[in-house]
Amino acid sequence: MNHLEVVSGKDEPNNQTLNGVESEIKKHGMKKGKWFRRKPQKQDRPNKKANTKQKLLRQTPEIVPFLQIYDDHILMKEGVMDILQIQTQNIDALNEADLNYLLLKRTQFLRSYFHSYKEVILNFPANTSPQLAYWEKKKEQTTSPIRLQYIEQKIYEFKFLERERSNREFFFFVYAEDKDALLDRKHACIQGMQRAFPVEELSREKKKQILFLLNNQNTKI
């Protein structure tokens, strides 16, 4: 009688192959029967923050219209400009006649000045540097403990005001095609507004602070 030999459809792996696979699993610290991809090393991962920051830096010159700040003007991609500060008054303390006079003079200026301009209102931190310098000098010259305690209290108050309080300041932006036209328009603004709300020129550092605060309104100077 002939014996029948049953053979499966798949060849069974030999013991040598299984032992090689198991040793490879143990070598890489993986469980038997489960294969995982090795995670990339930390240094191989792309730095998303760095890429985002570089992208923002590349976009900033395209968005911001300012190119260079000088003492007497600000160079823009199209034309020039300058910033004047408006000297405000307490209109609540004025009588009706004085208030009407100020409004009349301001209306006359706005009707006569037909060039491009912009009025900007910004909150600046209170500047108590002169007061702090005065009390710091007094502190160095004082030997009395009672007087010294009073001076330290004043210094604390002025530092608190500088840190927590802000002043609302008003600015007048003047625009022109070139420096000569800008100079004429600035002169017209100074002359036309001197009887109502006078304007004054600013330093380069103040202009930098204004432009920085204007483009970063959630950031303190």
Q: Calculate mean pLDDT across residues 97-112.
A: 90
CB-based contact 81:74 (threshold 8 Å):
yes
Do 137 and 213 lie in one domain? The reply is: no
Domain boundary among 164, 182, 211: 164
Q: Calculate mean pLDDT across residues 22-35.
A: 51
Q: Calculate mean pLDDT across residues 153-167.
A: 88
Do 134 and 118 lie in one domain? The reply is: no
Q: Give 126-152 pLDDT, tens digit per residue.
A: 888 889 999 999 999 888 889 999 999
Do 114 and 179 lie in one domain? The reply is: yes
Do 101 and 81 lie in one domain? The reply is: yes
Is residue 61 a part of any domain in this protein? no
Is residue 215 a part of any domain in this protein? yes
Do 174 and 92 lie in one domain? The reply is: yes
Is residue 172 a part of any domain in this protein? yes
Do 117 and 173 lie in one domain? The reply is: yes
- The tally of domains found in the chain comes to 2
Is residue 40 a part of any domain in this protein? no
Question: What CATH number has the domain bearing residue 203?
Answer: 3.30.70
Q: Give 45-91 pLDDT, tens digit per residue.
A: 555 555 554 455 566 777 788 888 888 899 988 899 999 999 988 88
Do 136 and 214 lie in one domain? The reply is: no
Two structure tokens written together for 79: 């034309």
Is residue 49 a part of any domain in this protein? no
Do 107 and 146 lie in one domain? The reply is: no
Do 131 and 87 lie in one domain? The reply is: no
Q: What percent of the chain has pLDDT above 70? A: 71
Is residue 85 a part of any domain in this protein? yes
Do 113 and 148 lie in one domain? The reply is: no
Domain boundary among 116, 142, 164: 164
Q: Calculate mean pLDDT across residues 26-36.
A: 50
Q: What is the pLDDT of residue 153?
A: 93
Is residue 11 a part of any domain in this protein? no
Q: Give 195-208 pLDDT, tens digit per residue.
A: 888 999 999 999 99
Residue 96 has pLDDT above 80, yes or no: yes
Q: What is the pLDDT of residue 4?
A: 45
Do 144 and 121 lie in one domain? The reply is: no
pLDDT, mean over the chain: 78
**Domain boundaries, position 140:** 127-164
Is residue 147 a part of any domain in this protein? yes
Q: For residues 100 and 106, what is the distance between their CA atoms, to the nearest angstrom?
A: 10
Do 134 and 221 lie in one domain? The reply is: no
